[in-house]
Structures are given as C-alpha cells and as structure tokens.
Chain A
Amino acid sequence: MATVAQPVTLGRRLRRWEGLPYALILPTVAYLGLFFAWPMVQAFELAFRIEGDWTLSPFRSMFNDTNFNQALTFTLLLVVVIVPLQFVLALVMALIANAKIRGRGLFLAIFILPLAISDLAAGLVWQTILTERGYLNTFLTKVGIIDQDYIWLDPTKPNNLLIAVVVAEIWRSTAFVMVIFLAGLQGIPHEYTEAAEVFGAGFFQRVRRIILPMLKPAIQVALLFRIIFAFEAFAVIIAITGRAKTTLATEAWRWQAEYFDSHIAAAYSALILVLSLVSAGLVLFLFRTPRAQMMR
C-alpha cells in the first residue's frame, strides 16, 4: 500500500498543481459561457436589433400592445401581494418547525412537501379545487355554507382570478421561503431568545426585537429569490385563468410560441430582466448593513 519513495505520478503532480481548482471549474465556466452568457447577449440583440439594424421598434410594439398594461400591472400586483403574505406564513411555519414541541418534525415534513411542485402542477391542482363543479364548492355545499355554486374563477371578476393565482402560488412556493427561514432560525443562539425571555420579553417582542433582526440575511436571500421568481409567473396563470389574465412572462411566451415574433418576445423578457435586477438592487440597498454594525 504505502510506498516509501513515491515516483512522480500524475496524482503527485496533481497534488501540488496550483491550476487544479481552475481546471475543475473550467467545464462549468465554459458551459455557462456558451449556453447562458452568450444567449443572454443574443437576447438583447434580438430585442434591439432587427436584420442588422439597431432599433427600438420591438419595445415600441410591446408598449403599444393591447395586453401590455394588463400584463405589467398583473405581474407587479402578484409580486406585491404574494411575497409579503407568504413571508408572514413562512415565518410562522419556520417558528413552528423550530419550536421546542413534540411533533415539530412532522410539521416540518408536511410544510416542505410542496417545495418541488411546479407552477403548472400547482395551477392544475387549484383549478381542480376552484372550478365551478369542483371540490371547494362540493365541500361548502356539504357543510351547508352555500346552497348555490359560487363561480370562483369568474373571468368577469378580476379580483377572483387574482386571489386564485395568489393562493396557488402561496401554496406552492412558501415552502421555499420557509426552508431559508428555518436555516436562519437554527443559526440564532438559544441564549439570545432565552435571555430575552428571562428579562420578560413576550413572544411577539422576542420575534420583533431578536428573531427578525437576526433573520435579516435569510430574509434578504429569500426576498431576492422570490421576487425574481415571482416576475416569471407563467404556467400557473395559464392553468388557472386561461387567457383571462396575462403576465409579462405569458406575453413573452405567446409572442414567441404563437405569433412567432422573437423580437417582441425578447423585448418582454428584457423588461422582466430589468424589473428583476432593479428589485434585486432595491432589496440589497434596503438591507445593506450599516458600517457601524458590521464592525461588531
């Protein structure tokens, strides 16, 4: 096994070779360069260039598109409604899964079940529940709360469709936020909350004064991811509302898949990117750690 005088084998050379980490990373960098960075550049070229000429006409067509305003408002509305609601829910779930109670493991196992469910599947599930002759109306009838079927997904009532999409998205994507929160909660030393308790801080006070401030990095990460993903809301919209509601992503998809205009589709996706980056920047700015605090 162990040889005393080792010959200069490939392994021995590898052990000292400083280029090794770069060699290990190279395939990833090459792949992402070819199939990620380069297409991104192409996306901008598609949006700003038609047949060799630089132009803003895809953007003009996009802004003048009859669906544009609806798509933009609905996308923003979804982000603004879904994210805060699901952050509160995720915090409650994470606190329960982190509480010193029996059965918290079971709660955690249940809460993370939707973690990998796609938005198309979630849309189909909630459509099954909310459709006129669906399971919610069945349940409400059997319990005796309603005696006439309520049309939950009434296309003439935009708020109903909004709420349906919001519920489906919260159901699907809150687990993701909760996992991040729980990892953050587990990083808070018990001494902190226990000390606060000894000094008479109530539950809500502990949450506000200790848990939330210490959870700041986790909240920041979750916000970054969730806002970016929420701007991409796509299949769930089609599954629940059909064509009654549209977002920026569904418009990008329709322009490419149905109207075969890659330029306008690219303009829509460029707008999604700009909105994602602006909100990511905003999150980073709002959550920046003041210098004085970093010293500690």
Chain B
Amino acid sequence: MSGRFITWLPRLGIYVVGLVLSLFVLAPLYVITLAAFSSEEDVYAYPKELLPRDLSTETLSFFLNFAGMTDALWRSVFVALITLAISLVIGTPAGYAIARFSFRGADTVRLSVVATRAFPIVILSIPLAVIFIRWGIDDTIQGVAIAHTALALPFVVLTTASVFANVPAELEEAAQTLGCSRAGAFVRVALPLALPGLAASAIFVFIISWNEVFAASLLTLQNRTLPAEVLSLLEGAPLNFRFAGGFLLLAPSVIVILIIRRYLFTMWGRVVR
C-alpha cells in the first residue's frame, strides 16, 4: 500500500521535533558565546547584533582584569585538582572492591554511597563552615577541596565501580594464572583497560568542583573560587561582567561533555540500574 508514505511521515516528525529541541539547547549556548565575545560598545548596544560580526575579547578581558578575578580562577582550578586527586585516590579502590568482590555488606556500602546523594551539599556546608572555623581552615582552598571531595567521592565510587564492572574479571584471573600477582594483574591488565573510563570519571569530578558554588561561598570570604566570586559580585554587576562570567563558568563544562560523552553511559550504567 502506501507503506513508503507511512514510514517517512513520522520520520519527518521526529526530525522536526529533534530540530526544535536542538535549537532550544544550542541557542542559549550561542547567545552567551556571542555576548562574551562582543565589544564593550556591542554589550550595551540595543537592539543587539545577532550574528558574530564584530568579535572582540574586550568583554572577557574586562572580566579577567576585574580585581582578584584571575586569582579566583586559579583557586578554582587548584580546588578542582585537589578534589580530583583525593577523591580518585580514595574512591577508586572502593569502586574496584564493589565491582570485583562479593563480600558481606557490599550492598549496604553501595546503597549508603547512593544514599549520600539524598543529603545535599546545602546541609553539609553549614556545619562544615562552623567546624572549619574551629579547625582554622576557614577561608582556605583546602577547606573547599575537603567539602568538594565529600561531594565527589560517592560519585567516584559509583562510576569507577561501573567502569571496572565493564572490564572482564576473567582477564585479571588469566593474568594471575600466568604468574601475575593480584596487584600485578590489576596494574597490568585491569587498570589499562579501565583507564579511559577512569579518566572520564576524573574529568567529571573536576567539573563537579568547578561548578560548586554553595559550599564554596560559605566556606570562604577572601579566598573565593570563581563561581563564589562571581556570585558575591553579582548584585548590581554590569552586563559585560555577567556575559563574560556566564561564558567562563559554562565553557569548561560544555567542552568536557564533548570530550567524555563516549564514556558517559559506561560511567552511569551502574548508577542508573
């Protein structure tokens, strides 16, 4: 019959809806990029230019030359790197244990790690602010990194567990029968195979810390990270500050997703099911 007609019509519908949704996702990304790269004149011009005609780094350099902003940016990078290092060193063994061993309490551990997500950073930050003053690490990047690690660690445990679960245990066992020690089998066989997934997890941890603003702004006063600094200056901030700040906060997260998207499903497989 009219089979052809019936198959292409819904297909066209899928493309139209997909296109509309893609525009909804992409248009704001385009707009903030355009705004961040417009000249000072264009920032305040109205109606605005909708096409990239007169690109300039004026707006971005205004933002970065704003008192203390580059320091805040570097602090953000340091905090994220410390968070990444601690949470991976501590969390990866736990992820490996959950993926490889069936031991008493394994399910309890996994469930409690998942359950930490129900206790949001909003609650954690306030007592930490009080505790850190007592310990004398208030207003330091170490303090922020400690809070961010508490936030990132459950994520690392679950994602690395999922990554190791995708590396066949048989390969490690084979290496052991061929004379590798358990540690040797892990280092020579499991680790190389898991490395891309682990890297994806690490990159995501970087972004978790880079994005986090609630704890960061409560735990610091002078030594703020980038989002905390942007938030504290937001009230009454000029347009070019907002445009550039929005773009700089957002750009790493979009780039990161482009890099690790192949591993997203390996990483989240276990968490989802």
| Contacts from A to B (Cβ < 8 Å) | 1-3, 6, 9-12, 14-15, 18, 20-22, 24-25, 27-29, 31-32, 35-36, 39-40, 42-43, 45-46, 89, 92-93, 96, 99, 101, 103, 107, 109-122, 124-129, 131, 133-135, 137-139, 141-142, 171, 175, 179-180, 182-184, 187, 203, 217-218, 221, 224-225, 228-229, 231-232, 234-235, 238-239, 242-243, 249, 252-253, 256-257, 262, 265-266, 269-270, 272-273, 276-277, 280
Q: Given that A35-B146, A117-B254, A142-B47 are contacting pairs, would A25 and B97 also be in contact in the complex, using a CB cutoff of 8 Å?
A: yes
- Which of A12, A28, A122, A280 lies in contact with B157, CB distance below 8 A? A28
A-B residue pair count with CB separations less than 8 angstroms:
291
Residues of A within 8 A of B271 (CB): 221
Contact with A along B27-65 (1 / 0, CB 8 A): 011011011000000001011101000000000000000
Is B257 a contact partner of A112 (Cβ separation < 8 A)? yes
| Contacts from B to A (Cβ < 8 Å) | 10-11, 14-15, 17-18, 21-22, 24-26, 28-29, 31-32, 34-35, 44, 46-48, 50, 89-91, 93-94, 96-98, 100-101, 103, 106, 109, 113, 116-131, 146-147, 149-150, 153-154, 157, 176, 178-179, 181-184, 204, 207, 210-214, 217-218, 227, 230-231, 234-235, 239, 242-243, 245-246, 249-250, 253-254, 256-258, 261, 264-265, 268-269, 271-273
Residues of A within 8 A of B178 (CB): 1-2
Residues of B within 8 A of A99 (CB): 14
Is A40 a contact partner of B119 (Cβ separation < 8 A)? yes
Q: How far is the CB of A157 from chain B (nearest CB, A)?
A: 21
Is A125 a contact partner of B117 (Cβ separation < 8 A)? no
A-B contact pairs, 20 of them (CB 8 A): A21-B100, A25-B97, A28-B153, A31-B90, A40-B123, A46-B127, A101-B14, A103-B18, A111-B21, A115-B257, A116-B207, A124-B250, A125-B250, A135-B48, A179-B264, A179-B265, A218-B272, A232-B121, A249-B122, A276-B119
